[in-house]
A and B are shown apart, each in its own frame.
Chain A
């Protein structure tokens, strides 16, 4: 089955630690995205990548980093510089045509203690 996987589903970390969230897709999509969702709010764009080895900052990139070494994979690192890292993190991917649907992974809930 084609889709997007994110792991782990739940993640707990101590304050001051970096943590990397995994996102893998087998949809052969060029573009991948990371969003963050806080309770009662919409999704906000962290980083996106439209092609391998290239990525751009979204609206709230501070305190995060990404890499795109393979088409299938777009890991997100939440660094200790991110002031409020506790949130629901969603990875998505899409094809190249205008208006193509964005497919989302099941998300990772990160709690920083």
Chain B
């Protein structure tokens, strides 16, 4: 079983739609959680950290459920510029290196 699992997609949605991505992680010692965005052939960039209380940044909302070891990302009012691959990322206690999911590809269509 992969340490971080995501649905690879692609999710094809029209502009203005709301889309949700889910992610599960297997290591209960994981302590920090993130969503990164990666554009085609570019490096990943931090979209947002994910906190137990949930957090929102504009059109983006992230949720963490430690009991179920589950992380989600909600994007409201999708824009064409949101088209990218979204990587679910977990940092595990000890080595401070990140474990990446394989990513969920989003394509927002006009």
A residues neighboring B (CB under 8 Å):
31, 33, 35, 40-45, 48, 50, 56, 58, 88, 90, 92, 94, 98-99, 101-102, 104-107, 109
Contact = CB atoms under 8 A, between A and B. Distances in A.
Interface size class of B (residues with CB under 8 A): 20 to 34
A41 B104 CA distance: 10
18 contacts: A31-B96, A33-B97, A35-B100, A41-B102, A42-B101, A42-B103, A45-B99, A48-B96, A50-B96, A56-B95, A58-B97, A88-B41, A92-B98, A98-B96, A99-B49, A99-B91, A101-B34, A101-B49
B45 interface: yes
Contacts of A101: 34, 46, 49
A102 B43 contact: no
Contacts of A45: 97-99
Q: Tell me whether chain A's interface is mostly helix, strand or loop, or mixed.
A: strand
B96 A43 contact: no
B4 interface: yes
A101 to B, nearest CB: 5
Interface of B: 4, 8, 31-32, 34, 41-46, 49, 87, 91, 95-103
B101 A106 contact: no
B43 A48 contact: no
Contacts of B44: 43, 90, 104
Contact of A40 (B91, B99, B102): B102
Contacts of A50: 96
Nearest to A109: B41
